[in-house]
């Protein structure tokens, strides 16, 4: 089935992890996919693997000029921009609030919040021109509930949740939908790095321990999120905007 046939989709942070799975599933469902990332080796390898209507751009989402240039280049190459998956994100340093430096705080906001702002800002004119658009913002369970770790990350994901609702209201008259996705723990390079950074010496044991926090008993996998993104990108969700799609194995149900 081709659920997003000929839709032009941009996936930020598409080189590895959740973004990588989004690229594969969107392409499989017929989309033309642009990968934006800073990991050139992984991004270019994925674009080659997908082949056909898939290409890689080196873009730091915190750099507005680079974002604008790349989005305009995608529109020139593929003819339009219909879907933006704001997935690029960083966990940042895992320190308590009183130990964080301003620079550590600012870098997380620059990528996770300003990156979403810049990509949205420069994709919107193309979506308005197409009279069609779907923006999918990766928030987190950490944008819904607290946990005693990564304070700048929580702040950033809470911001993304409400940016999604505000933009949903602003752009509804243009038929541009904006939704947030809230993953529980998904096994990706980010989570493995976060667990090591938090002092885990036995990674597999830490994965099991954190997995057990989810009522379904384990961590999710990148495809669990990619299928939610395909749904929100496609017309199957044409009446869905301003919503928060929680994909967390029941983590926030308690």
CB distance 226 to 4 below 8 Å:
no
| Cα(113)–Cα(118) distance, integer angstroms | 9
Q: For residues 185-214, which are near ligand NAD according to CB under 6 A?
A: 185-186, 188-191
Among 8, 9, 10, 18, binds ligand NAD (CB under 6 A): 18
Task: Pick left, alpha or beta for residue 48 (phi over 0 → left; psi -120 to 50 → alpha; otherwise beta).
Answer: alpha
Of 110, 143, 118, 130, whose CA–CA distance to 177 is shortest? 130
Q: Nearer to ligand NAD by C-beta: 17 or 133?
A: 17
| DSSP H helical ranges for the chain | 17-28, 40-50, 64-78, 102-109, 115-130, 151-171, 189-197, 203-211, 222-233
Considering only the stretches 1-9, 56-64, 68-76, 230-238, report the one whose residues sit in contact with ligand NAD under the rule CB under 6 A.
56-64
Q: Nearer to ligand NAD by C-beta: 29 or 60?
A: 60
Among 37, 74, 132, 168, binds ligand NAD (CB under 6 A): 37
Q: Which of 153, 171, 185, 251 is catalytic?
A: 153
Burial of 223 (0-12, 13-18, 19+ CB in 10 A): middle
Considering only the stretches 83-91, 94-102, 161-169, 228-236, report the one whose residues sit in contact with ligand NAD under the rule CB under 6 A.
83-91
Total binding residues for ligand NAD by CB under 6 A? 30
Using rule CB under 6 A, residue 249 touches ligand NAD: no
Of 80, 75, 87, 82, whose CA–CA distance to 175 is shortest? 82
Respond yes or no: is residue 153 known to be catalytic: yes
CB distance 208 to 103 below 8 Å:
no
Using rule CB under 6 A, residue 13 touches ligand NAD: yes
Question: Cα dist. 159→179, 184, 246, 248 in Å?
Answer: 13, 17, 16, 19
Considering only the stretches 69-77, 128-136, 179-187, 237-245, report the one whose residues sit in contact with ligand NAD under the rule CB under 6 A.
179-187
Burial of 197 (0-12, 13-18, 19+ CB in 10 A): middle
Using rule CB under 6 A, residue 74 touches ligand NAD: no
Using rule CB under 6 A, residue 140 touches ligand NAD: yes
* Nearest distance, CB of residue 225 and ligand NAD, angstroms: 7
Active-site residue set: 153
Residue numbers at the binding site for ligand NAD (CB under 6 A):
12-13, 15-19, 36-39, 59-62, 87-90, 111, 115, 138, 140, 183, 185-186, 188-191
């Amino acid at each position: 089935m081709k659920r997003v046939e000929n839709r032009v989709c941009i996936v930020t942070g598409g080189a590895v992890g959740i973004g990588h799975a989004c690229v594969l599933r969107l392409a499989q469902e017929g989309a033309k996919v642009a990968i934006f990332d800073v990991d050139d080796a992984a991004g270019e390898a994925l674009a080659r693997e997908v082949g056909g209507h898939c290409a890689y751009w080196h873009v730091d989402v915190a750099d507005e000029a680079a974002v604008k240039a790349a989005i305009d280049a995608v529109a020139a190459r593929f003819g339009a921009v219909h879907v933006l998956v704001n997935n690029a994100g960083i966990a940042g340093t895992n320190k308590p609030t009183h130990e964080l430096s301003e620079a550590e705080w600012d870098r997380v906001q620059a990528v996770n919040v300003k990156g979403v702002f810049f990509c949205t800002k420069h994709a919107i004119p193309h979506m308005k021109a197409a009279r069609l658009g779907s923006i999918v913002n990766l928030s987190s369970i950490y944008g819904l509930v607290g946990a005693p770790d990564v304070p700048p990350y929580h702040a950033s994901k809470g911001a993304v949740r409400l940016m999604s609702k505000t933009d949903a209201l602003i752009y509804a008259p243009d038929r541009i939908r904006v939704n947030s996705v809230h993953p529980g723990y998904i096994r990706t390079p980010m989570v493995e790095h976060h667990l090591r950074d938090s002092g885990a010496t036995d990674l597999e044991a830490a994965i099991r321990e954190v997995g057990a926090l989810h009522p379904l008993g384990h961590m999710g996998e990148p495809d669990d999120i990619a299928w939610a993104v395909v749904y929100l990108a496609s017309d199957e969700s044409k009446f869905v905007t301003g919503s928060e799609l929680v994909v967390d194995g029941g983590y926030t149900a308690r």
